[in-house]
Structure 1
Amino acid sequence: MRKGTHRRRDPIESALRKPPIVANQGLSELRYLILTQGLSNDPDRDFCTYRPYVWCILLKVSPIQSNDYLALIHRGASPAYSKIRNDTFRTLTTDMSFQRRVSETSLIRILNALAWKRWDHHRLKQQQQQQTSRSRRGSRLHSLQHGGYTQSSPTIKAGGHSSSFFGDDDNVSVSELYVQGLNVLAAPFLYTCCSETQAFALFDKYIHTCCPLYVKPMLDGVHLGLKLLDTSLKIIDPTLFSYLKGKLLTAELYGFASLLTMSACTPPLNEVLVLWDFLIAFGPHMNILAVIAQLLLIRDSILASQSPMTLLRTFPPLQAKKVITLAVSFVPKLPEELYDLLVRHTYDETVADRIKAL
């Protein structure tokens, strides 16, 4: 770098270069700096060059071997390939910076690789279940043969088997491999990262560790989140909640896309990345409060409208810092039990019944 062109590091860059005495202390400091300072763009590129490294630290993603990603790519089209192709060309089409930086082919590759990885996971699970079932059947047959029963006992047919153990359930449903919204969730990782390999590692870790219920075939976590959004809004702003309810507008109608994509469906992308810094640092559950914050930023317009769905069909351009400030301010207003459900609904299936009963 030539003399006079050196750029002073911001607090987060400095924190990244300073090895923490205790790992958890370093993560806490990083989260605090993200909340109070935010990541800085390189003024020459209008882009944060160290953002992917911050995400790797927060998600605890170690560098993966390129060969692992390439092996998935070289397997060719997955069973979900057609479904993926039906979505990729529609991904963030209005964001020119994304269109210039990320090609559709790279988006197809990363989603197809993910589909193969999910296929492997479900096939392994099926094989384990089949093996367990065979073991149980074998134990049962052994107990029948050696516990006073003969092979001609009508309880079990000698030499018989259930077809379910021999291939009928070997196929993995396409809905297990690819679900609605994965294309938009992948987009910020591809836009931000230095390589497809890095983007794939972060994307895979985020959806399967932070919000696995959001990418189940029936989008279980998303629907639980929508129920929590209604419940939280009723506490945070009962007037707005009542007005929307009077218009028969629940979160299922206006909040689905925002929850499904962690608000990545609301442009501009550079603001989405700022919001995602916060969500990756503090948890995807905070997106519910971020959506409520977006509602409150247009609260007066909603209350003045006789047809508020016209406003809610497309949220105004995202203002990440305002949204984050409001979202954080909502936390103390929520009962502890409700906030616990908010935190756990993205990954813990055991809270589903409690949320549905709200």
Structure 2
Amino acid sequence: MHGISARKATHRRRDPIESALRRPPVVVDQGISELRYLILTQGLSNDPDKDFCTYRSYVWCILLKVSPTQSKDYLSLIHRGASPAYSKIRNDTFRTLTTDILFQRRVSETSLIRILNALAWKRWDRYHSRHKQQHQQQNQTSKAGRGSRLHNLHQRSYTQSDISSMSSSSYVGEDDNISVSELYVQGLNVLAAPFLYACASETQAFALFDTYIHTCCPLYVKPMLDGVHLGLKLLDTSLKIIDPTLYSHLKGKLLTAELYGFASVLTMSACTPPLNEVLVLWDFLIAFGPHMNILAVIAQLLIIRDSLLASQSPMTLLRTFPPLQAKKVITLAVSFVPRLPEELYDLLVRHTYDETVSDRIKSL
């Protein structure tokens, strides 16, 4: 009896999110809405014995709608060996979150190399699949045009050169000279890090990582980092509305978001330690959208607002952001939303994935 009592005493009560995960929702969308609400109000809990949230990756899978992935799919990418981006990947991996002891203990550089190299191969496949479809469409259009012209030959006379040009098809073969920047771009190593840290397996981490960057923020991983630069423009515009005094002070020192916010926008704030706080912020970003990182960066500025306003050289403070305080940052970021004009917030939401808003954002 004594043993049973001891086991009961040490049994950890499930938090509200764990309970929600074990309770199948009547309506899927309603269940996801409840999960988002709990993330915002309660947050995920760490296992006290491990100082680590053991169910975080499952929450992320639900939010990103990532189903269990077959290991063979990931292994097939790994077995293809070094991708064309391999050397570029190796130049970045050894520098990933080097000051975070927990990350260094849990995630090896080898696993980071594998997941990034596998992603490069998958992006290679997508690139060629896309170009193959384009060539097929061009061929179909060309054949349809030839058929239409031959059908109407009797309606007018053609010269010999006209007929020769119709019979020769101008087909362009698949382009194998893919740029390395199509496969791997700056910041992907840091974006991969939280997934590898939070997940129980590389396979799961790869599935979440691949889905997140290509579904939620595809413009952030284009060769020219289009979405990142749009985000920096939106950061300046939003800061001007949220805190015109701080905006003017930084502007007066010739400081724009491109100079001080690039790394934070590029990596969804994962570049700012500690990692355990980054994971809490990412719970929020994955639940409510990566666009909220722009407001999270502004929140980090406002936390040190007094120091920035008092400094004649604020860039010295902004070269390295202070340690991340995720809950405080999230509270501030949410409070900014009602202060933004509806049109601006719409651009903020869409800038991570919608190329059609580019010109409107650049004109702000």
Matched, 1:228 2:246: no
Aligned to 1:153: 161
Residue of structure 2 aligned with 1:21, choices 8, 22, 26: 26
Matched, 1:79 2:84: yes
Aligned to 2:211: 205
| Aligned counterparts of 1:21 and 1:141: Cα–Cα separation in 2 | 56
1:222-253 Cα distance to aligned partner (Å, 9 max, x none): 01000100000000000000111111100000
What's the CA shift for 1:134? Answer: 1.6
Residue identity over aligned pairs, in percent, reads: 81
| Aligned counterparts of 1:7 and 1:344: Cα–Cα separation in 2 | 41
TM-score scaled by length of structure 2: 0.94
| Aligned counterparts of 1:302 and 1:156: Cα–Cα separation in 2 | 72
1:38-67 Cα distance to aligned partner (Å, 9 max, x none): 111111111000111111111111001001
Matched, 1:190 2:190: no
Matched, 1:109 2:114: yes
Structure 1 counterpart of 2:339, which letter? K
Matched, 1:323 2:345: no
What's the CA shift for 1:161? Answer: 5.0
Aligned to 1:5: 10
**Farther off after superposition, 4-13 or 229-238:** 4-13
SS of residue paired to 1:234: helix
Alpha carbons 1:80, 1:174 under 8 Å: kept: yes
Structure 2 counterpart of 1:77, which letter? A
Matched, 1:239 2:245: yes
SS of residue paired to 2:165: coil
Aligned to 2:138: 133
Residue of structure 1 aligned with 2:280, choices 274, 277, 280: 274
Matched, 1:43 2:51: no
SS of residue paired to 1:311: helix
Aligned to 2:172: 165
| Aligned counterparts of 1:155 and 1:83: Cα–Cα separation in 2 | 50
| Aligned counterparts of 1:346 and 1:284: Cα–Cα separation in 2 | 7
Alpha carbons 2:96, 2:189 under 8 Å: kept: yes
**Farther off after superposition, 228-237 or 173-182:** 173-182
Alpha carbons 2:199, 2:205 under 8 Å: kept: yes
Aligned length: 356
1:313-335 Cα distance to aligned partner (Å, 9 max, x none): 11000000110010011011001
Alpha carbons 1:59, 1:205 under 8 Å: kept: yes
| Aligned counterparts of 1:252 and 1:151: Cα–Cα separation in 2 | 59
Matched, 1:301 2:307: yes
What's the CA shift for 1:173? Answer: 1.8
Aligned to 1:123: 128
| Mapping for residues 332-347 of structure 1, pairs under 5 Å | 332-347=338-353
Alpha carbons 1:145, 1:151 under 8 Å: kept: no
Alpha carbons 1:210, 1:346 under 8 Å: kept: yes
Aligned to 1:349: 355
**Farther off after superposition, 233-242 or 148-157:** 148-157
| Aligned counterparts of 2:97 and 2:77: Cα–Cα separation in 1 | 25
1:57-87 Cα distance to aligned partner (Å, 9 max, x none): 1111100100111111111111111111111
Q: Which runs of 4+ in 1 moved over 6 A?
A: none
List gaps (5 residues or longer) in structure 1. none
Aligned to 1:60: 65
Structure 2 counterpart of 1:60, which letter? K
Change (3 A) 1:160 1:105: same
Alpha carbons 1:119, 1:177 under 8 Å: kept: yes
Cα RMSD after superposing both structures: 1.6
Alpha carbons 2:241, 2:340 under 8 Å: kept: yes
| Aligned counterparts of 2:27 and 2:117: Cα–Cα separation in 1 | 38
| Aligned counterparts of 1:341 and 1:234: Cα–Cα separation in 2 | 16
**Farther off after superposition, 20-29 or 222-231:** 20-29
SS of residue paired to 2:10: coil
List gaps (5 residues or longer) in structure 2. none
1:143-177 Cα distance to aligned partner (Å, 9 max, x none): 34443364733586366454x6134x233221111
Structure 2 counterpart of 1:279, which letter? L
SS of residue paired to 1:165: coil
SS of residue paired to 1:186: helix
Aligned to 1:34: 39
